[in-house]
Amino acid sequence: MQKFIFEIRSRGFFLLVIAFLIISGLVYAEVTEQFDESSILHFQSVSGNTSLDHLMWVLTEIGGIIPIMIFCFVMFVWRKTRRMGLILLLAILIATVLAGYLKDYVVDRPRPDLEYLGSELPIDVESDTTVLGGQGSFPSGHVARASALAFVLGYALSDRFPRGWVLLWIFPVSMALSRIYLLQHYPMDVIGGVLFGIIIAAILANKLKLSEYLNSSKV
């Protein structure tokens, strides 16, 4: 499936872009508002389990730009994964900045305005709005970064582990759940984040010829 999407002139990539544009339009027109509001109210009501609350907090903190950038930088420094590291660094930076631009200046959807009723967390939850200084919600930057990471690594490992690469998507799925659980995003925000992260990663991986690099180096 990842190889089907990887080619930016493929039908898979085209459908991915169309899906993102449709979801963006629906969110902008507030068509999904009732669904999003009812969903996040449910998540607000189920918080309160200390272990689960802290797990969600840890997941959302891992998805911050600094932890993910450190991981990508380590891959970039290591010679065998330098090309992947470069692609990931660029994908994370571009996805973060563009997601911030979309959130603050295009879709301009406010974040959920609900009080977190769960356990006290070690530090305040990172809102990921420092890039452009706004308070927009769509798409989720945390989920976009996690999806870009899973997409590139999954593509690189798909030949060696034809089925195992799917496990990498546990990361963006968990990230999406944590952002909703902690009342930082609506469901449609994280769905948009998944699509946006894949789109950015696929474009960069294609332009920087990741497939040719993997074939030549057998990483």
Least confident piece of the model among 46-55, 97-106, 121-130, 139-148: 121-130
197 residue type, one letter: G
CB 138 within 8 A of CB 192: yes
Residue 136 DSSP SS3: strand
Looking at residue 86, its pLDDT comes to 86
> Mean pLDDT over residues 59-63, rounded?
87
- Looking at residue 134, what is its pLDDT? 61
Going 182 to 184 to 190 to 194, the CA torsion angle's sign is negative
The residue type at 107:
V
End-to-end CA distance of the chain: 20
- The better pLDDT of the pair 138, 108 is held by 138
pLDDT band at 219 (very low <50, low <70, confident <90, very high): very low
User: How many residues in the chain?
Assistant: 219
Tokens, residue 21: 């544009």
Residue 167 vs residue 217, higher pLDDT: 167
Distance separating alpha carbons of residues 60 and 19, to the nearest angstrom: 25
Q: Looking at residue 162, what is its pLDDT?
A: 67
Assigned token pair, 194:
């998944």
pLDDT on residue 8: 59
| pLDDT tens-digit map of 93-132 | 888 888 888 888 888 888 888 877 777 776 666 566 545 5
Average pLDDT of the residues of the chain: 83
- Encode pLDDT of 83-94 as tens digits: 788 888 888 888
* The pLDDT of residue 199: 92
- 155 touches 122 (CB < 8 A): no
